[in-house]
Amino acid sequence: MNTMLRTRVGTAVAVGLCLLAAARLSAADHESNLRKKFGVSPGGKLVVEADRGSIEVTAKGEETVDIQVFREVTRASAAKAEEVFAAHEITFEQEGSQVVVRAKYKKEWQGWRVWGPNLQVRYQIAVPKQFNLDLKTAGGSITLPDLTGDARARTAGGSIKSGAIDGQVWAATAGGNIHVVGATKSIEVDTAGGSIQVGHAGGSVTAETSGGSITITKAREQIRAKTAGGGIRIEEAGAGVKADTAGGSIAINKAVGKVAARTAAGGIEIGEAAAAVDATTSGGSVNVTLIGPLADDCRLETVAGDVTLKVPANLSADLDAKAVGGRVTTDLPVTVQGEQKQSSLQGKLGEGGKLLKLRTSGGSIHLQSR
C-alpha cells in the first residue's frame, strides 16, 4: 500500500469514528415522565389500557390512585425524542372511584424504523388496599399486590405475578410465566408459553399453557389443568380434577372428587382419591390409592409401565385386569369369574359393584390393600 493510499484510508477511518461518536452523542437517551394522582374511595376500580410497557401495582393505606409513567427514548436525538413523546398519547380519566389510563400512538405517526427511535415505558401505580384492577398491556410484565377486590391482567408478551387476592383472579399472557399466590374466589390463568404456579384458591382453578409445567397447591372447588408440554402437580383439590398434558408426568396428592388424568408421555401418581379415577398414559407407570367407595367406574391404563392400585380392604367392585407382557397380582380376596391366568384376572371384590378396569401393554398390574 503506497503512502497516499494509507493516508486516504486513515482519513476515512478517522472521519467514520468522528461521525459515529457524533451519532452516539446525538442519539442519547431521553426521558419524559408523567405523574397523576386521584382521590378515590375503597372498592373502586383501576383500568389500564397500554400499548406497551410493564405495569407494577402496589397497595397502600391511602385513598388515592397515584400513577407514575416512566418513558425513555433511545437511539434518537433530542428533537426526534420529542417527536416520539408527542406522538405517544397518554390520557387519564376519572369517573367517581374509577380511574382509567389509556396509552396509544397518534395515527399519523410514521417515525418508526428498524434502527430508529426506541420507546420504553414503565407504569408504577399505587392503589388503596381495597380496589379492583383491570390491566392490559401490549408488551410487558404485570405485577399485582395483595389486595381486596377482583383482578384481571392481560399482556401480549411478559410474565404475570399476583399476590394474595381477596376476590377473583383472571390472568392471560401470550408469552411468559404466571404466578398467583392465591385468591379467595376462583382463579383462571392462561399462557401461550410458560409455566404456571398457583397457590390457594377459595373457588375453582383453571390453568392452561401451551408449553410449560403447572403447579397448584390447593383449591376448594374443581381443578382443570392442561399443558401441551410439561408436568402437572396438584397438592389438594376439594372437588374433582381434570389434568391433561401432552408430555410430562401428573402427580396429585389428594382429590375429593372424580379424577381424570391423561398424559402422552409420563407417569401418573395419585396419593389419595376419594372418588373414581380415570387415568391413562402412553409412556409411564400408574400409581393410585383409593380411600373410599366407588360412585363411578374406575379405569387405569398404560402402554408402557406398571399399574399399581391400592384400595380399602372392604371395597366392593367388579374387577377386570389385563396385563400384556406382564402379570396380575393381588393381595385381596377375589371371587374369580372365568379362567384365571397370570396375565389377567376378572371377578368380584366383596359384593361387586362399579367397574375397576386395569390395563397395561408393557408391564404388570398390582392390586393391593391399603
DSSP 4-44: HHHHHHHHHHHHHHHHHHHHHHHT--EE--EEEEEE--TTE
Q: What backbone phi and psi angles, to 5 degrees, belong to 144?
A: -115, 145
Boundary (domain end) residue, out of 85, 103, 129: 129
In a domain, 21, yes or no: no
Tell me how far apart the 2 most distant CA atoms of the chain are, in Å.
107
In a domain, 153, yes or no: yes
Residues counted in the chain = 370
In a domain, 226, yes or no: yes
Assess whether 199 and 346 both reside in one domain: yes
Assess whether 177 and 284 both reside in one domain: yes
In a domain, 16, yes or no: no
Assess whether 235 and 299 both reside in one domain: yes
What's the confidence (pLDDT) of residue 107? 64
Cell of 132: 379492583
Query: What's 106's DSSP letter?
Result: -
Which range of residues forms the domain containing residue 37? Answer: 26-129
Assess whether 79 and 157 both reside in one domain: no
Cell of 149: 377486590
d(CA 323, CA 342): 9
What's the confidence (pLDDT) of residue 339? 78
Query: What's 341's DSSP letter?
Result: B
What's the confidence (pLDDT) of residue 105? 86
Assess whether 108 and 134 both reside in one domain: no
Boundary (domain end) residue, out of 79, 107, 129: 129
Assess whether 147 and 87 both reside in one domain: no
Assess whether 258 and 306 both reside in one domain: yes
Termini Cα distance of the chain: 90
Assess whether 143 and 118 both reside in one domain: no
- Amino acid present at 318: D
In a domain, 258, yes or no: yes
Assess whether 36 and 68 both reside in one domain: yes
Boundary (domain end) residue, out of 87, 102, 129: 129
Count Cβ neighbours within 10 Å for each residue of 285-300 and write b for 16 or more, e otherwise. bbbbbbbebbeebbbb
Per-residue pLDDT of the chain (370 residues; tens, 9 = 90+): 454 444 454 444 444 444 434 444 444 589 999 999 999 999 999 999 999 999 999 999 999 999 999 999 998 899 999 999 999 999 999 999 999 999 998 865 555 555 678 899 999 999 999 999 999 999 999 999 999 999 999 999 999 999 999 999 999 999 999 999 999 999 999 999 999 999 999 999 999 999 999 999 999 999 999 999 999 999 999 999 999 999 899 999 999 999 999 999 999 999 999 999 999 999 999 999 999 899 899 999 999 899 999 999 999 999 999 999 899 999 999 999 877 789 999 999 999 999 999 999 989 999 999 9
Q: What is the tally of structural domains in the chain?
A: 2
d(CA 190, CA 170): 8
d(CA 104, CA 91): 9
In a domain, 1, yes or no: no
d(CA 60, CA 62): 6
Single out the residue of 208, 197, 56, 68 nearest to residue 133, CA to CA: 56
Q: How many CA atoms lie within 13 A of 284 on its CB side?
A: 21
Query: What's 154's DSSP letter?
Result: E
Where does 238-343 show beta strands of DSSP type E?
241-245, 250-255, 259-263, 268-273, 277-281, 286-290, 298-302, 307-311, 317-323, 328-330, 334-336
What's the confidence (pLDDT) of residue 117? 84
Assess whether 358 and 318 both reside in one domain: yes
Question: CA–CA distance from 26 to each of 77, 79, 88, 110, 151 (Å)?
Answer: 5, 9, 21, 20, 43
What's the confidence (pLDDT) of residue 113? 57
In a domain, 7, yes or no: no
Assess whether 219 and 184 both reside in one domain: yes
In a domain, 100, yes or no: yes
272, 291 Cβ separation under 8 angstroms? yes
Assess whether 105 and 184 both reside in one domain: no
